[in-house]
Structure 1
């Protein structure tokens, strides 16, 4: 077989992979030492094989890389690859590459799934909060409507005092249940660290205040009727501004509204 025919026959590829018989391998090795074209073609095939393997097995060890590099040195003698060991090495590289690619694909798939689950959970939490807020608002509206139309409620108007003449409030006190609701929508928003405290007052024989609740949720809560503790025998109601947590007795200098029953 002429050397050109040998190059085009495909036997050189089989030679590189170590798949020829011993006699064929010996013959091609002899030809390669005598013909530069055959030698160069073998080196070119080996380089292609190594480049392909490297693209699938980027973690090729330095030791193996140097061995292959030495084997591909044009100035060195062409050494045929041993049939069993080198073929196993290429198969191993390919298997490792497939394994690594599969692991990477599964990892990315898992990360995407985790991300999608997190997004769904966030959307679920947001939806639940929205629903909870709307339910709470709906309950406040329904409660306010029920209180306003209940004929058993006594309405006590609380007028603004010296510290805030423009302030006002209303108390809805039920004669049967003793429940008390406050309309605090005309009070200014309490400063940070301060709350409004509602007092049930007895005027005789001496002024006796009893705390029946705090209004501590600023603007939103003050838009609707606020339920505080029930009371019995009240003769008046007052609202003072107190430190967060409330006070045992009303701070009269911070009396915002007051009204008799």
Structure 2
């Protein structure tokens, strides 16, 4: 949203609370409320303000008035038989006024409460529906990103197999941590490319909390070249980060997203150029 402040001051949220919007406009408000905490907070403040207004405008008789009202009910015959007709008429009119005012205030408060509860329930239902839609959209977006990644790997593989002689192949062999582990790394200094052959990958599948991380050893120091996952169906050439003057490559198992420095006791494979 370009101008959230203008949107909040436009009055559309008040119209939503009072039910004055079309279905399309209501859906837009609910979508904005789900995306922007400021909009959701403003809606809640409007609802609270409406409830406060209902309460503040309800006539709340004082204890003295309530007592007089109840006493008047028990003594209404005495009031009607008072020697002063004018005084009796005034007392009766006051009694009727308090009676209807008290009932009206309770009715207003009750109806306002029902209205706000219904509005809040509808708003919560809309939040749930929009959350489901956003979840579906996110799943679709993740699938698209996954397919795009597969296409990139295939493109990298074609590039490698079209000119394999241009790449120096480095075979990483398992460490004492994983004696059977292995991985083939393709290195091209002229094209500034480092790729790993996922088809050659021989390492246990990593879980959701961990990823494998490729390191380049440059002047005796490890340099991060990116992370990757080991799956049973891993294929293609995956392009990693590039750095010059590499002396060796190594793979460690790290927390998902990678680490700043390699975890040496989780060294999986290593190979010198």
**TM-score bracket relative to the smaller structure:** 0.5 to 0.7
1:256 aligns with 2:256: no
Greater radius of gyration (CA): 1
Shift in Å at residue 260 of structure 1? 6.1
Q: Could you tell me which of 227, 231, 240 is aligned with 1:228?
A: 240
Instruction: Give the equivalent residue in structure 2 for 1:158.
Output: 172
TM-score scaled by length of structure 2: 0.52
Instruction: Give the equivalent residue in structure 2 for 1:114.
Output: 123
CA gap of 1:188–1:255, structure 2 versus 1, over 3 A, is same
Structure 1 Cα separation of the partners of residues 208 and 109 of structure 2: 59
Instruction: Give the equivalent residue in structure 2 for 1:181.
Output: 195
Instruction: Give the equivalent residue in structure 2 for 1:211.
Output: 223
Structure 2 Cα separation of the partners of residues 136 and 258 of structure 1: 30
User: Does the 8 Å contact 2:248/2:272 carry over to 1?
Assistant: yes
Instruction: Give the equivalent residue in structure 1 for 2:140.
Output: 131
> Which 5+ residue runs of structure 1 have no aligned equivalent?
1-56
User: Does the 8 Å contact 1:212/1:230 carry over to 2?
Assistant: no
Q: Could you tell me which of 154, 176, 179 is aligned with 1:145?
A: 154
Shift in Å at residue 142 of structure 1? 1.3
> SS of the counterpart of 1:177?
coil
Structure 1 Cα separation of the partners of residues 66 and 125 of structure 2: 42
TM-score scaled by length of structure 1: 0.53
User: Does the 8 Å contact 1:158/1:170 carry over to 2?
Assistant: yes
Structure 2 Cα separation of the partners of residues 140 and 148 of structure 1: 12
Structure 1 Cα separation of the partners of residues 104 and 65 of structure 2: 17
Which stretch shifts more, 192-201 or 153-162? Answer: 192-201
Shift in Å at residue 68 of structure 1? 3.7
Structure 2 Cα separation of the partners of residues 99 and 210 of structure 1: 73
Shift in Å at residue 169 of structure 1? 1.2
Structure 2 Cα separation of the partners of residues 148 and 178 of structure 1: 16
User: Does the 8 Å contact 1:168/1:186 carry over to 2?
Assistant: yes
> SS of the counterpart of 1:159?
strand
Instruction: Give the equivalent residue in structure 1 for 2:260.
Output: 245
Structure 1 Cα separation of the partners of residues 244 and 135 of structure 2: 42
1:78 aligns with 2:104: no
Shift in Å at residue 214 of structure 1? 4.1
User: Does the 8 Å contact 1:201/1:234 carry over to 2?
Assistant: yes
Structure 2 Cα separation of the partners of residues 208 and 94 of structure 1: 86
Structure 2 Cα separation of the partners of residues 65 and 209 of structure 1: 86
> SS of the counterpart of 1:165?
coil
